[in-house]
Chain A
């Protein structure tokens, strides 16, 4: 498959260069820009927690320091563009050895094949979403690693793209696009995925809408809508309906266990299930006269746990926590079960109902851009809050301070986090 893709890539490149010689008069041009980040973070790790009893299971660093860049180099030649975004990153952690990584978010060729028609091939980070807190229609990015030390609008920016081949056609107020992300051995281990999208802007009612058709392991359809209601108010809905779930797993006790026999569980997924799970975000953004902007969203996570399922999950965690702490012969098994529970928690939102709120103001205090974000689990009233302040120290320099604070009962979703809070200092230098 990889050979085939490389062959297509090479053939297309030759073809495009030939076409470029004849059609487009534009000369070679380029744009180079980027940001250098220096980012130390301190994590206040809990001494004891349900998922990490006595802080022994997870090897989590109290502090990290990352020096990294986000570098964009775009080269334009006639009707061809090479778009790239890379992140060289050097990370120092307390519990790990120093690490250097070069991450490629984007590296693709984009070719204009006529007025309003484009083809692209390569690694690309594709997004077409309208919500802020979560993005149910971000189909191609749903399993990507997200940096939670960043503001929510930046979290999904710095992530690895997919190897894709696709096309876009732009008409008056209508855009049609297709993207194919093949399985590519060790390059891209997900099965083949296809995303078809149509966007329509209804000018007369100040509303734009998108329809997404996704084919992958968990197929689905998505529908986004956003509308300007007044000078101050914008409303939006982002929704996806998925056939099956990668997240949802039911935990059933197979054997209660006794004496020399451990308690055993069956953890079953819904990947092949044909049940339809809705994921819906309804929200809006309002700007006050003093420039304060408030975004508020209700999030319905259809494949999240209901109360009964959550109780089963927490019983599983509590039982294994107790087993681990009791130093019984099944300690190793309990450790494995707790690690599995941690992985389930990391996937994304665990429950069904959430409220996301963001307050921001970039004009109230000169040179200060401040934000306060809340993500509240309405099912158990645990929440995380993310205050952040960016100070423009110079024309190209920003100093930021941010924190993530988790709150809730020990057996609530956000209360189960391994760390209580963190604090991150970020120095950004633009060039």
Chain B
């Protein structure tokens, strides 16, 4: 009995020391690539889903609001449908890998644009259309960051495609890998462009997800953009909707 007790205590101690890693391995034990996959699943509830976003651009006292719906398929394909204001209603942005088109309802002509073409305030086309990082970026390494209130993991991402909007990204996530904290976005030359803070965590589609992204412009310090996500749900969009020739029909299908 005494030997059994000792064995029990040993197992208990070992379990405590490993921090319950047998049941749930800590994120720090994962490779950078695995960590990035885990990070992406925090924002994306699946390969294909839909959500609405309200973008509020603040510059000093001034505030501008834009609303749009986003349909994502297989992570790499997105349709962004503008809802508000009336001057932009009916616009559609299609992103397939690094290809991007914009459709203005009046012109009847989808135009191929480059991902660098700015959309609203600090938000680029890619920021709205793309919700995962591992499509455009490779996680090169990870390190512990204990400088803040909570110990975090800092993931270093580097662009792997010519079409990626940024040269590199530093992404902070909790050690458990369950939450994103913030991300810094750099140009190819290494200049810090903006910082995104992941906020407003809510229980959505089976886990806690950040429903507010606060984007701080690091060049024009007074400019802040808030992206607030709502109505996230799993919904598949037919494959043939994700082509430029179909863009004219998108506002009719999703009025």
Contact = CB atoms under 8 A, between A and B. Distances in A.
Contacts of B112: 130, 208, 226-228, 234, 236, 285
Interface in B159-203: 162-165, 187
Nearest to B163: A231
B252 A76 contact: yes
B165 A231 contact: yes
Contacts of A362: 118
Contact of B114 (A70, A234, A396): A234
Given A29-B255, A31-B251, A229-B162, A396 B108 contact: no
Nearest to B96: A203
A185 interface: no
A5 interface: no
B108 A172 contact: no
Interface stretch (B35-43, B127-135, B241-249): B241-249
A230 B163 contact: yes
B86 interface: yes
B117 interface: yes
The majority secondary structure among interface residues of chain B is loop
B109 A293 contact: no
Contact of A231 (B96, B114, B251, B255): B114
Interface string A392-431: 0001101000000000000000000000000000001011
B63 to A, nearest CB: 11
B141 interface: no
Nearest to B126: A231
Interface stretch (A10-18, A120-128, A267-275, A347-355): A120-128
Contact of A72 (B85, B98, B105, B107): B105
A230 B106 CA distance: 28
A175 B114 contact: no
Given A76-B252, A171-B240, A289-B187, A230 B118 contact: no
Contacts of A81: 252
A172 B243 CA distance: 8
Contacts of A153: 104, 107, 111
A172 B239 contact: yes
Interface string A78-100: 00010101000000000000000
B59 interface: yes
A430 B114 contact: no
Contacts of B162: 229-231
Most-contacted residue by chain A among B96, B99, B113 (CB, 10 A): B99
Contact of A285 (B106, B114, B239): B114
B62 to A, nearest CB: 8
Contacts of B109: 127-129, 156
B99 A110 contact: no
Contacts of A228: 98-100, 112, 114-115, 163
Most-contacted residue by chain A among B111, B114, B118, B245 (CB, 10 A): B245
The 7 A-B residue pairs with the shortest CB-CB distance, nearest first, are A175-B245, A170-B240, A430-B86, A430-B87, A287-B116, A230-B162, A157-B106
7 contacts: A31-B255, A81-B252, A228-B115, A231-B115, A287-B116, A396-B85, A431-B86
Given A116-B240, A226-B112, A285-B112, 15 more contacts: A83-B252, A153-B107, A156-B107, A201-B244, A231-B115, A232-B114, A232-B116, A233-B114, A287-B116, A363-B118, A366-B59, A395-B86, A395-B87, A428-B87, A430-B86
